[in-house]
Amino acid sequence: MNGAAKQGQPLDSTVQIRDATKTFGCGSVVTFQGLNLAVRRNEVLCLVGPSGCGKTTLLRCINGLIPLTSGSIIFRGQEVRRPNPAMAMVFQQFGLFPWKTVWQNIAYPLRLRRMAGGEIRERVDRYLKMVGLESFAQAFPYQLSGGMQQRVGLARALATTPDLMLMDEPFGSVDAQTREVLQAELLKITEKQRQTMIFITHSIDEAIALGDRIGVMSARPSKLVELIEVRIPKPRDLTTIRALARYNELRQHIWDLLMSQRQPRGREVS
Ligand SMILES: Nc1ncnc2c1ncn2[C@@H]1O[C@H](COP(=O)(O)OP(=O)(O)OP(=O)(O)O)[C@@H](O)[C@H]1O
Ligand SMILES: [Mg+2]
């Protein structure tokens, strides 16, 4: 029996969130409360929920950047207590080093892992190609559009071949057309690499397009209202799936769930 099974973690899950609660301000702000969720190996789990319900906070707890107030997060059979290099996080704001070239930005976490030079070169070139930026290897971030910068962020995370990718509204700050292009690229990459991923978004369409399952969170103190199996086969084509009855049924259902959670003020869900 391996370590994960011994500790009661289902063998097909990468991360397990058990009865997790996170509060701020000596308990005055309760983000999520008593949250239970297991992320299956190789799945893309999308999370949607009202602004301020604690989605970013949850990712930061999973990543070990901040501790839970109570409960536990188990990653590969071990309780998360500090950042783990087997996870990679991509944020809405690209987070690139402005003084490093595209190539150096992607290489940076690999150098931190003390990877051999040849392996770094091979990986950086491979992932640059995967996101279509081979000809921008020597460019600096300020010379790139927002969509291109986000591709660099994506390549940098993927190049570490993480067991778990944590994506916090990664396409939230690019225009609508670029967003669709990035979604299609990410879909292709995740279908090819079977990358386990938690993907936070405010867009229902994005969640359906990318997700194998979609977790809908309630307003604070938040809970998982429903965990929905998307059941639209992959590979997916973004244009054709929109015509499916299942797509529209999901869209309406998630919309209704989110509307029932709406607070008087907050960011709209599109
Ligand atoms: N470091 C902190 N100190 C105090 N309160 C915090 C801290 N981080 C987050 N919060 C509070 O926790 C709540 C959840 O914030 P969080 O950023 O996780 O929400 P979110 O669901 O990601 O929202 P959005 O959809 O707008 O990104 C908010 O009320 C926020 O003010
Ligand atoms: Mg957030």
Res 3: pLDDT: 46
How many structural domains is the chain composed of? Answer: 1
Q: Residue 117: inside a domain, yes or no?
A: no
Angle value at C-alpha 126, between 122 and 128, nearest 5 degrees:
120
d(CA 156, CA 250): 32
> How remote is the CA of residue 51 from the centroid of ligand 2, in Å?
7
Confidence of residue 191 (pLDDT cuts 50, 70, 90): confident
Is 55 inside any structural domain? yes
Cα-based distances in Å from 230 to 48, 57, 212: 14, 25, 5
Residue 1 has pLDDT above 90, yes or no: no
Q: Which pLDDT score, from 0 to 100, does residue 155 have?
A: 92
Q: Which domain holds residue 71?
A: 1-86+162-171+195-270
Tokens for 154, please give them: 């994506």
3-class SS of residue 44:
strand
Atom of ligand 1 nearest to the CA of 25: 4
Give the count of beta carbons closer than 10 Å to the beta carbon of residue 7: 13
CA within 13 Å, CB half, 198:
28
What pLDDT, on the 0 to 100 scale, is given for residue 2?
46
Q: For residue 218, tell me if it sits in a domain.
A: yes
| pLDDT tier for residue 10 given thresholds of 50, 70 and 90 | low
pLDDT (average), residues 236-259: 96
Which residue bears the tokens 């998307």?
Answer: 230
How much is the pLDDT for 111?
96
Q: Of all protein residues, whose CA lies closest to atom 17 belonging to ligand 1?
A: 56
Report the chain's mean pLDDT, rounded to a whole number: 91
Whole-prediction pTM: 0.91
Residues 224 and 214: beta-carbon distance below 8 Å: no
Asked whether residue 266 is assigned to any structural domain, the reply reads yes
Out of 26, 28, 29, mutate this one to test ligand 1's pocket (max ligand atoms within 8 Å of CB): namely 29
Grade residue 124 by pLDDT with cuts at 50, 70 and 90.
very high
Taking a C-beta distance cutoff of 8 angstroms, is the pair 72, 15 a contact?
A: no
11-57 pLDDT per residue, tens: 578 999 999 999 999 999 999 999 999 999 999 999 999 999 999 99
CB of 24 within 6 A of ligand 1: the answer is yes
Would residue 142 count as lying in a domain?
A: no
**Would you list the DSSP string of 163-214?**
SEEEEESTTTTS-HHHHHHHHHHHHHHHHHHT--EEEE-S-HHHHHHH-SEE
What is the average pLDDT across 227-243? 96
Confidence of residue 270 (pLDDT cuts 50, 70, 90): low
- What are the φ/ψ torsions at residue 96 (nearest 5 degrees)? -90, 155
Question: Is the CB–ligand 1 distance for residue 61 below 6 Å?
Answer: no
pLDDT in the model for residue 6: 46
CA 147 → CA 92, 109, 136, 154, 173, distances in Å? 11, 21, 13, 10, 8
The answer, yes or no, to whether any atom of ligand 1 lies below 6 A from the CB of 50, is no
226, containing H or E segment: strand 224-229
- pLDDT per residue as tens digits for the range 66-113: 999 999 999 999 999 999 999 999 987 778 999 999 999 999 999 999
94 CA distance to ligand 2 middle (Å) = 14
pLDDT confidence tier of residue 263, bands split at 50, 70 and 90: low
Residue 109 lies in a domain: no
Residues 202-232 have pLDDT tens digits of 999 999 999 999 999 999 999 999 999 999 9
Q: Is residue 101 assigned to a domain?
A: no
Alpha helices of the chain — where are they, by DSSP H? 3-6, 55-62, 102-112, 117-130, 146-159, 176-193, 204-210, 238-241, 245-260
DSSP-assigned letters across all residues of 200-212: E-S-HHHHHHH-S
Instruction: Give, for 21, the enclosing helix (H) or strand (E).
Output: strand 13-21
55 lines ligand 1 (CB under 6 A): yes
Predicted pLDDT at 130: 87
Atom of ligand 1 nearest to the CA of 54: 18
pLDDT tens-digit map of 162-171: 999 999 999 9
Ligand nearest to the Cα of 51, by number: 1
The larger pLDDT score, comparing residue 61 to residue 10, is at 61
Q: Tell me, in angstroms, the distance from the centre of ligand 2 to residue 52's CA.
A: 7
Q: What whole-number distance in Å separates Cα of residue 68 and Cα of residue 85?
A: 19
- The CATH number for 16's domain is 3.40.50.300
Residue whose Cα lies nearest atom 2 of ligand 1: it is 24
